[in-house]
Each structure stands twice: as C-alpha cells, then as structure tokens.
Amino acid sequence: MSEQHQNDDPIIYVMTIQQEAVAQGMLPMWTVYDHPTDIPDKFVARCHVVMKGESGPTNNWITASTLTSLRMMLRMAGLTCLRRSPQDDAKIVETWL
C-alpha cells in the first residue's frame, strides 16, 4: 500500500489507502490516537488492516492539530466512526471503518 503520509491531500490519501487495502482482500481501519508519544503535538489516525483473521498496523497515517479536523477528514473520506472499547489503550480515541 502507498506510504505518503501528510504530503498529499489527506482525504484522497485515506481513500486511496482504503481502495488499495480492499483490492488486496484486507479490511482497513483507522485508529485515532490523542497525541501519541511518537507525535506528541498532534492527533494521529493510523491505518491498521485485517486479513484472514490476522491484524496489524501499516506505515500509513494522517495527522491534525485538532480532533475535530481529523474526524472531518475521515468522515469526508467516507468512513464511519466506532467508539473506543474500555479495554483500548488510553491514547486511543476511536476507530474508523
């Protein structure tokens, strides 16, 4: 899958990653983090994929200064928000499919 991060339009970038993952038989999901330790000044959405019961992270992510901005990007890319699970890491805000 593409690894372009912030250099492209984030909405088109997310849509492209989604299409590439689905074409390869994967279920992509974007997990939103509240200022993770590796990017402490931003909200971050990282793409994870599920394939044949196995799941894992990818090298694909987008960032925004505010949670509202990040949510808008993911919504405009056609994704739907799922609430976080109580068992999720404290830095996880939500996941988008």
Q: Where are the domains of the chain?
A: 5-96
- Token pair of 3 as six digits: 């690894």
CA dihedral 70, 75, 77, 81 (to 10 degrees): 90
Distance of alpha carbon 66 from alpha carbon 20, whole angstroms = 27
- Give whole-number Cα distances, 51 to 21, 28, 61, in Å: 9, 9, 19
What confidence tens digit (pLDDT) does each residue in 14-44 have? 999 999 999 999 999 999 999 999 999 999 9
pLDDT, one tens digit per residue, over 63-89 is 999 999 999 999 999 999 999 999 999
For residue 2, pLDDT over 50 is answered with no
